[in-house]
Amino acid sequence: MDSHALNLLVEIIDSGNLSQAARKLKMTRANVSYHLTKLEKDVGVQLVQRSTRRVEPTEIGMRLYQHGRAIHNEILAAREAVTSLGRGLQGRVGISVPSGYGQIVMSDWLIEFKRLYPGIVLDVLFENRADILRDEVDIAVRVVPEPPLSMVARSLGDVRYLACASREYAQQHGLPRTLHELRNSPVITAGVTGRHLRLAAYQGTERHEVLLEPTMISEHFPFLRQGIVAGLGVGLVPDYVVQDKLDSGELLTTLDEYRLSIFGTQMYLLYLPNRHQTRAVRTCIDFILAKTRPPEAGDAQASGIEVPMQEDTTEKPAHKKSPST
């Protein structure tokens, strides 16, 4: 058994089927199947259970996969160490962020990160897809009720949904004071599949649920914010979308006795446990985690963020304390 055979097994199990593995390895499906069969003959046991759509590793297959993944990661780490010798922090970071949180909160963070690490290629996807970790994505940020068991999940804090409207709307129509009244209000929100939105509302441990028919729907949160400020209806959005307008008094909240939830109440940073993380990816993870900690959590170096290497190494840039979300 050689490293090429182990790498083939790793790609097959990571891909989930032979066709996808063949595309990644730039081989034909028949060739991948041939080499897998040869590997199984060499070790004398079946390594994967095959079906028409998926392959699942056997117990022995999973053990070999873990060894193969460890070897693959070590090779990647060795290559990175050689290519980055004597150079500043370089590499590529693929990050998938929610369309709203990414635009309104994370954009400034990522611009700051790029200024600190000009040698890193930052590939940012603003999206709300469920299949978040693909080949081009190293890190994903998502609001989910429970993080997937197959991923490492680092909490970025609570997400608080608000029911809010403009003063103009409140004066003309009044604010809904109950969930039943909310059903009869024009609702502005995101993430609706079909006509109905399923809103969960909690009072202590008591859970309520209401089906709403929004009048204005978009994944573009700045657009939703404009509609709420314009008095077009009652917004159901995370607090970070409208916080400045609440502080100025332009918008008013209602149903404050409820804890509202549409997608979940926790924001997570997600990544795969068995995928090799370059220094660039690790640095980006530490940077984002530091941004969501309270200011007293310490400066960038205390948080594990690498100080970027400069052409002139006699001076290193100082890092400010990270602001909270």
CATH of residue 172:
3.40.190.290
What pLDDT sits at residue 309? 38
For β-strands 259-261 and 91-97, DSSP reports them as unpaired
pLDDT of amino acid 120: 92
Same domain? For 69 and 112 the reply is no
Is the pLDDT at 312 greater than 60? The verdict is no
* CATH of residue 290: 3.40.190.10
Residue range of the domain that includes 140: 91-157+266-297
Residues 14 and 75 in one domain: yes
The SS3 call for residue 315 is coil
- CATH code assigned at 49: 1.10.10.10
With respect to residue 320, please indicate whether it lies within any of the assigned structural domains: no
Does 304 map to a domain?
no
Answer yes or no: is 307 within a domain. Answer: no
Same domain, 115 and 243: no
CA dihedral over 108, 289, 133, 197, signed as positive or negative: negative
Residue range 215-244, pLDDT digits in tens:
999 988 899 999 999 999 999 999 999 999
Predicted confidence band of residue 82 (pLDDT cuts 50, 70, 90): low
Claim to verify: residue 22 and residue 61 sit in the same structural domain: yes
Q: Which one of 6-10, 35-39, 184-188 scores highest in mean pLDDT?
A: 184-188
Residue 313 pLDDT level (bands cut at 50, 70, 90): very low
Mean pLDDT value across residues 157-181: 94
How many residues in the chain? 325
Separation of alpha carbons 292 and 205, rounded Å? 27
| Residue 96 host element (H or E) | strand 91-97
**pLDDT of 7 strictly over 70:** yes
Residues 9, 68: contact at Cβ < 8 Å?
Answer: yes
Q: Is 314 a domain residue? A: no
Judge if 16 and 134 occupy the same domain: no
- Say whether pLDDT at 56 is over 60: yes
Domain total for the chain? 3
- For residue 61, pLDDT beyond 70: yes
Confirm whether 194 is domain-assigned. yes
Lowest mean pLDDT among 145-154, 209-218, 248-257, 298-307: 298-307
pTM higher than the cut 0.75: no
Average pLDDT, stretch 106-131? 91
Residue 310 in this model has a pLDDT that exceeds 90: no
pLDDT band at 251, cuts 50/70/90? very high
